[in-house]
């Protein structure tokens, strides 16, 4: 009987058959684990969409030939409803702001105010970026559907009695320039007016004989950052020195003088660009 068992193992010629490998399943298992890991990494990446970058991307699409209706459809794909796990990019224009009256607020049926889509994009993106950069105390926005006014405090941009933008603050101009180029439509271009303002304290130096001179230089220097940072055609830019003659507060207090020392960037479209500072 022992010989029979030996024969049954040996097979023909008495040679034993090679044992079958039983670890082949590990290759398939490893592939499955790799695919699962890739899947979850992808899901994590999608669930953390940078809304501001998404808006920049969609704004870029909108000026490359998409109609407002097509743009709305794309945005709608990222707003599938009330599902809390869904990807969410905020609907453009869906905000409440004290500068907007009822006639210029977003209308879901009518869409954007005709001719002002780019200004609307720019305004909304600036809101988020100003908050992220912690500039809300030094940078204010005014938007009424017809124009966008960006007001920057001189204290963050310039040293006292100087007109060069501080190197560490050039990023503010570059930020605005980045958003300008993301929303600028050459077929309906922005007009960009940069104006410098001072308080009524006189200045009389070799470089700056008056407040006119320092306000002009500050406006030109800040405009230069916007111009070169955006690459927009220079014909759409203007720089103006207003001196102390257009105050927005009293010059009798320190706080009032601080508010009066400012740089304003006023952005309009050709339909409303006449007398832009009036």
Domain that holds residue 181: 91-272
With contact defined as beta carbons under 8 Å apart, do 123 and 183 qualify? no
Q: Over range 37-64, report the average pLDDT.
A: 61
Instruction: Answer whether residue 242 is part of any domain.
Output: yes
Three-state DSSP state, 274: coil
What pLDDT shows up at residue 113? 47
Instruction: Answer whether residue 151 is part of any domain.
Output: yes
Q: Over range 124-146, report the average pLDDT.
A: 87
| Tokens of residue 1, six digits | 């009987």
Instruction: Answer whether residue 192 is part of any domain.
Output: yes
For residues 90 and 216, give the distance between their C-alpha atoms in angstroms, rounded to a whole number: 39
Instruction: Answer whether residue 189 is part of any domain.
Output: yes
Looking up residue 170, the CATH number of its domain turns out to be 3.30.1330.60
For residues 268 and 51, give the distance between their C-alpha atoms in angstroms, rounded to a whole number: 25
Which residue has tokens 């905020």?
90
Total domains in the chain come to 1
pTM higher than 0.75, yes or no?
A: no
What pLDDT shows up at residue 210? 95
In this predicted structure, the answer to whether residue 184 has a pLDDT above a threshold of 80 is yes
In this predicted structure, the answer to whether residue 168 has a pLDDT above a threshold of 90 is yes
Higher-scoring residue by pLDDT: 71, 241: 241
Instruction: Answer whether residue 161 is part of any domain.
Output: yes
Compute and round to an integer the Cα radius of gyration of the chain: 31
Whole-number average pLDDT of the chain: 75
- Note the pLDDT tens digit of each residue in 76-116: 554 444 444 433 333 333 333 333 334 333 333 333 444 57
For residues 98 and 186, give the distance between their C-alpha atoms in angstroms, rounded to a whole number: 30
Instruction: Answer whether residue 235 is part of any domain.
Output: yes
- Note the pLDDT tens digit of each residue in 189-239: 999 999 999 999 999 999 999 999 999 999 999 999 999 999 999 999 999
Q: Are strands 262-268 and 139-143 parallel, antiparallel or unpaired?
A: unpaired
Q: Are strands 147-153 and 262-268 parallel, antiparallel or unpaired?
A: antiparallel
For residues 87 and 210, give the distance between their C-alpha atoms in angstroms, rounded to a whole number: 55
Instruction: Answer whether residue 43 is part of any domain.
Output: no
Q: Highest mean pLDDT range out of 15-29, 33-47, 50-64, 240-254? A: 240-254
Instruction: Answer whether residue 48 is part of any domain.
Output: no
- Note the pLDDT tens digit of each residue in 236-269: 999 999 999 999 999 999 999 999 999 999 999 8
DSSP state of 17: P
What pLDDT shows up at residue 84? 42
What pLDDT shows up at residue 106? 38
């Amino acid at each position: 009987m022992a010989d029979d068992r030996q024969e049954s193992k040996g097979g023909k010629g008495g040679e034993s058959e090679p044992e079958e490998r039983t670890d082949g399943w590990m290759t398939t298992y490893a592939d499955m684990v790799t695919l699962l890991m890739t899947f979850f990494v992808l899901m994590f990446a999608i669930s953390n969409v940078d809304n501001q970058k998404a808006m920049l991307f969609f704004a870029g699409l909108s000026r490359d030939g998409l109609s407002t209706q097509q743009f709305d459809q794309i945005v709608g794909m990222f707003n599938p409803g009330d599902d809390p796990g869904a990807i969410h990019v905020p609907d453009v224009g869906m905000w409440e702001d004290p500068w907007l009256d009822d006639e210029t607020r977003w209308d879901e049926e009518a869409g954007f105010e005709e001719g002002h889509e780019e200004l609307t994009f720019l305004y909304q993106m600036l809101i988020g970026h100003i908050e992220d950069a912690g500039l809300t105390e030094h940078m204010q926005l005014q938007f009424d559907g017809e124009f966008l006014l960006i007001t920057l405090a001189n204290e963050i941009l310039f040293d006292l009695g100087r007109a060069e933008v501080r190197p560490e603050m050039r990023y503010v101009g570059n930020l605005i320039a980045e958003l300008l180029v993301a929303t600028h439509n050459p077929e309906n271009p922005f007009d960009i007016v940069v104006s410098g303002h001072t308080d009524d304290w006189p200045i009389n130096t070799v470089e700056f004989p008056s407040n006119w001179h320092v306000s002009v230089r500050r406006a030109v220097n800040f405009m230069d950052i916007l111009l070169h940072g955006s690459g927009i055609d220079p014909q759409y830019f203007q720089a103006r020195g207003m001196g102390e003659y257009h105050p927005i507060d009293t010059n009798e207090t320190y706080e009032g003088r601080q508010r009066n020392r400012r740089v304003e960037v006023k952005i309009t479209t050709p339909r409303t660009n006449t007398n832009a500072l009036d």
